[in-house]
Amino acid sequence: MSIEKATSNVMMVTYGKRAHKIHNNPRLHKIYDVVSNFVHVSQPGNFLADAFPILRTLPDCFASWRARAREMHAWEMELWGGFLDEHKKSVMKGDTSRDCFVSAYLRSREEGGHGEAPGLGITEDGWMRDKMLTYTAATILEAGSDTVSSAAQSFVLMMLNHPAVLAKAREEIDAVVGGGRLPNFEDQDHLPYIVACIKETLRRHSPIIMGIPHRSDQDEVYKDYLIPKESTVIGNMWAIHMDPVQYPNPAVFNPDRFYKAGSPTPWGSGPDMQDRDQCVMSPRSKHTH
């Protein structure tokens, strides 16, 4: 799957529309420009103010990076805010055909008493206001473009190299979904082996090998090594996924690691650590840099 098609799929999930034109599509290519810029500016060390917080107190005339950040924000919001505004206008015109994340959230927010919620942050009862919703949807698009493409290619590669796994997965799809439609989210609990195949693909060939940089909010001692407060810590996801204690024979593609016949395969994610298969920055994880 090409990155353009992956972006189109993520657009469908997020905003209920596809990118029908790949070449000479300014908005599609601006997404990639925004993602590239985000990767660049988020790299540790690119801005001294990240390493030396005292620099953030400087006035604008001595902080050119702040003016640049405001320009980048306006540039991003022209794209992300435009997507949300267009979607809200379509919904107001009665277009209810778009079954997607933004539509579902706007409906739920309206039912919660907030048909309109402009501004930043969240409402007093916890609903995202428009700007936060804009960036939440943008995060799905940013994070889901190249990673979806990479993960889909790895999944196809694993299936082609493991015909017995492919046959078992196909048998489950045929039994649950049949040949007349595509799977949907309601089928997920009835496709435990498919979910296990996806999880094993993401373990064996993760789209990224390192976690997102974190900052320690207090001094920590890990195996007699002091991690000072406000240090940048990056989880080594590849080492976690290839840990022979957690995953015996880690180089082997084996969906049965996650599969339990007769019960749904959990994704192993969420806010509660006990529900996760592995936590990049938790005491259960041995591999950090």
Q: In this structure, are 7 and 110 located in the same domain?
A: yes
Top pLDDT among 151 and 95 is at 151
H or E stretch at 226 = strand 225-227
Residue 4 pLDDT exceeds 70 = no
| pLDDT one-digit tens code per residue, 184-194 | 878 989 999 99
Query: What's the CA gap between 15 and 86, in Å, rounded?
Result: 10
Show contacts of 78-85: CB within 8 Å, 24+ apart.
79/27, 79/30, 79/31, 79/34, 79/138, 80/134, 80/135, 80/137, 80/138, 81/131, 81/134, 82/27, 83/15, 83/134, 83/137, 83/138, 84/130, 84/133, 84/134, 84/137
Contact at 8 Å (CB) between 41 and 76? Answer: no
Phi-psi region of 268 (alpha: psi -120 to 50; beta: other; left: phi over 0): left
Residue 244 pLDDT exceeds 90 = yes
Top pLDDT among 255 and 89 is at 255
Q: Where is the domain boundary, 111, 144, 177?
A: 144
Top pLDDT among 117 and 27 is at 117
**Banded model confidence at residue 56, pLDDT cuts 50, 70, 90:** confident
Residue 151 in any domain: the answer is no
**Looking at residue 163, what is its pLDDT?**
97
Residue 259 in any domain: the answer is yes
**Looking at residue 286, what is its pLDDT?**
46
Residue 74 pLDDT exceeds 60 = yes
Residue 153 in any domain: the answer is no
Helix-, strand-, coil-residue percentages of the chain, each rounded to 5:
55, 5, 40
**Looking at residue 254, what is its pLDDT?**
96
**Looking at residue 255, what is its pLDDT?**
96
Q: In this structure, are 140 and 235 located in the same domain?
A: no
Q: Supply the pTM of this predicted model.
A: 0.64
Q: Taking residues 221-225, what's their average pLDDT?
A: 88
Residues spanned by the domain of 190: 161-275
Residue 277 pLDDT exceeds 70 = no
Longest dimension (CA), the chain: 66
60 three-class SS: helix
Residue 117, judged by CB atoms within 10 A of its CB (0-12, 13-18, 19+), counts as buried
Residue 72 in any domain: the answer is yes
Q: How many CB atoms within 10 Å of residue 179?
A: 6
**Banded model confidence at residue 271, pLDDT cuts 50, 70, 90:** low
Residues 6+ apart with CB under 8 A from 276: 268, 269, 270, 282
**Banded model confidence at residue 256, pLDDT cuts 50, 70, 90:** very high
Q: In this structure, are 45 and 170 located in the same domain?
A: no
Residue 155 in any domain: the answer is no
Q: Where is the domain boundary, 118, 144, 170?
A: 144
**Looking at residue 289, what is its pLDDT?**
44
**Looking at residue 285, what is its pLDDT?**
46
Q: Taking residues 242-257, what's their average pLDDT?
A: 94
Residue 282 in any domain: the answer is no
Residue 282 pLDDT exceeds 50 = no
Low-confidence winner among 119-123, 136-140, 153-157, 206-210 (lowest mean pLDDT): 206-210
**Looking at residue 17, what is its pLDDT?**
78
Of 18, 20, 187, 15, which Cα lies nearest the Cα of 99?
A: 15
Residue 234 in any domain: the answer is yes
Residue 288 in any domain: the answer is no
Q: Where is the domain boundary, 144, 172, 206?
A: 144
Top pLDDT among 54 and 38 is at 54
Q: In this structure, are 138 and 250 located in the same domain?
A: no
